[in-house]
Amino acid sequence: MRRLLLVLLTLVASSDAGAQIIRPGYQLQAPAAWVSLGAALQQSWSVIDGATGSRWEFGNATTYDASLEKTLSGGATFGVRGSTAMVPLRYVGPLVTTEADANVSQLFGTLHVAGGNGFHTVLELSAGATLYSNFRARAGGAKLGPDSPDADFSFAFGYGFGYAFSPAFSIDAVQDVTTALHQKTGLSAGDDSSVRIHGTRIVGRFGLGGH
């Protein structure tokens, strides 16, 4: 009887130990996809627009960001990231100089790489477009040029840090440097049409499904 009891106790202990080993492994499986939501502080920058003969002196602004990404491997995800903001600016044109506001939106295909659990580094490479639209004078709301949305090819590099609270939730802080290439229509050959935009994002990332 004692031997039978010892065998049964050994089997129960082995079963409990096996369950403890399997369960954490299951919980650590990477999500199949990620959704992120966040906000960023975007620093001031200027654009020279030859088509309207104006200069857009944008100020600091808060942008709102979201992304949807598919898990690849090795902590990498690939997907689409977008942002939008109403940005204050000083509009310096050939006929008028005024304080104004404009919509600035960005849409990127992005590769996100995060290194490990807990505290980790974050690296992002993105390419897409920066869209300027809806220029309005702040006093009176008069519409300013351009008459239609103006899209510039853009690419971005992001680097920062994050903390994973679980396999399916983390918070990242990322410093972005975006280069936007504005069209050279109406500019002289020596004019620089590239624009550098700096921003700092705080992002919550939520995992979806099992990988």
Q: Is the pLDDT of residue 19 over 70?
A: no
At 190 the pLDDT is 76
- Name the residue with higher pLDDT: 150 or 7: 150
Tell me whether residue 72 is exposed, middle or buried, using C-beta atoms within 10 angstroms of its C-beta: 0 to 12, 13 to 18, 19 or more: middle
What's the whole-number mean pLDDT along residues 110-123?
Answer: 92
- DSSP code for 161: E
pLDDT tens-place string over residues 40-75: 999 999 999 999 999 999 999 999 999 999 999 888
At 117 the pLDDT is 82
At 74 the pLDDT is 81
CB atoms within 10 A of CB 102: 20
Look at 10-24, 71-85, 91-105, 169-183 and tell me which has the smallest mean pLDDT: 10-24
d(CA 101, CA 91): 9
In this prediction, residue 22 has a pLDDT band, given cuts at 50, 70 and 90, of very low
d(CA 155, CA 150): 16
**What's the chain's average pLDDT?**
88
At 171 the pLDDT is 97
